[in-house]
Structure 1
Amino acid sequence: MEFYLSHLEEYVKNMYLKFGFTEPYQIDMQRIASSLNIWVHYEDVNSMMIKHDGMYSIILNSRLSKEKQWEDFAHELCHVLKHAGNQLNMNKMFRELQEFQANQFMYHFCVPTFMLLKLDFPELRCHAVKMIADLFNVTEEFAAKRMELFEKRQIGIQFHKAWKTSLLEDAEPSAERTIDQFDKADEFTRFKRKNRHQYPFTKKAKKWIAAEKQAEYLLEK
């Protein structure tokens, strides 16, 4: 199946290629943080991102599993890379927008699309979800949601392709349709000829034209 990456998917792919990651087993949270000069701390608090003296730190909840910590890291990483401002002082709708963007980034960063495209999925969806969870070190709940996003993307591409094909078919009429169009054109031409009449100039208009022809500035033929 033909597949093209979205802007977010392309962005994530380029990041991973810069890290030298092309396969799931190569993904390393500590190497990513080190490459981006981000400090990672583990505390008994909700995961968060903080900025102090121009330095970024991501604090991960020490009570969470390694899989959940990796998911939270990706969420907070989006805030580091793409967002600015203190959410505590932020408009509610703008804060919700940032959270939505961070969640979308999280799913695509933890399980990059360009790596998913290399996989040979089993027939059963539950087995595919389990495979994603194991390969990318995420929870099965997370893997199921990521699989859903991946499937919706595939359906969207198929729909767009079918829509473009239908437009091309409409833009290239068949021989029969072409003949019908010529018949309509001939009929319209006959109608114009039958109903043709000279524009009814008013008497004033005729006088203005005659006056223009007699103007001194016109060159004689």
Structure 2
Amino acid sequence: MDLSLYYETELEQWISSRYIQHGILCPSDLDIDEVSTAFKVDLVEYEGPPFSCNMTDVIFLPKGIDTLTKRLVYFHELCHVLRHAGNQRQMPELFLQQQEIEAERFIQYAAAPFYMIKELPLGESQKEAVELIASEFTLPYKFSYARLLQIQNRILNQITAQENARIPGGNRNERDAQELCIQSEETQRIMTQLSRQLSKGVKKLWQE
């Protein structure tokens, strides 16, 4: 897998740039307490569901939540703090949905940044690569699999775009291919399913 062919979305570039500016350079730097300190975000654990306040830069996480789920929920809320404005409890439903969609995309890039992944010895085995990503970034296996699949698909799209560009009369250029093929249907399905599972799990934990 030629990682040099991978291209980042604007959101991914924004996250990578902010991370590097704050000295977040390797997986061990992604400890949520350290990330919170770097971005001057207060982290509070309490008896209730997760939420954040982008006016005071505070993230509230449920007490007792397991480590893997906690990290994904944290990065979801971090997106709201760093990139969003307004009170979600009072904003129009469409605007709320747009923020939630971006927050789910944010998790993929913030929890496992590509500039860190490319430094790992991923090897040729997909299973070993997924296990390495899950271990290095302290993430669920399913999430790590979806992230690797996303990277592989992005690279495949780039190769396809380059091949189409060489064919006379090709009906798509490189930029079109990038925009049309950001994620495969399989990657989107896995991410959506995982998001729903996390949401239900956190809600159940709070209610128990």
Structures share fold, TM-score greater than 0.5? yes
State the match for 1:31 in structure 2. Answer: 34
Counterpart CA distance in 2 for 1:65 and 1:17 is: 28
Paired residues, what number? 168
TM-score by length of 2: 0.73
When residues 134 and 91 of structure 1 are mapped into structure 2, their CA distance, relative to the original with a 3 A threshold, is: same
Amino acid of the structure 2 residue aligned with 1:43: Y
Q: How does 1:9-24 map to 2 (within 5 A)?
A: 9-24=12-27
State the match for 2:189 in structure 1. Answer: none
Q: How does 1:146-185 map to 2 (within 5 A)?
A: 146-167=147-168
Matched, 1:101 2:63: no
Does structure 1 retain, via aligned residues, the 8 Å contact 2:77–2:103?
yes
Query: Aligned-pair distance for 1:18?
Result: 1.5
Does structure 2 retain, via aligned residues, the 8 Å contact 1:60–1:69?
yes
Counterpart CA distance in 2 for 1:137 and 1:99 is: 23
Query: Aligned-pair distance for 1:125?
Result: 2.0
Matched, 1:112 2:116: no
State the match for 1:87 in structure 2. Answer: 88
Larger relative contact order (CA 8 Å, sep ≥ 6): 2
Counterpart CA distance in 1 for 2:23 and 2:78 is: 18
Query: Aligned-pair distance for 1:141?
Result: 2.0
Matched, 1:72 2:60: no
Identity of aligned residues (%): 23
State the match for 1:186 in structure 2. Answer: none
Larger radius of gyration: 1
Residues 3-45 of structure 1: CA deviation (Å, up to 9, x unaligned): 3332222212212212222221232221221222211011122
Please list every run of 5 or more consecutive structure 1 residues that lacks an aligned counterpart in the other structure: 171-221
RMSD: 2.1
Extract structure 1 runs of 4+ deviating beyond 6 A. none
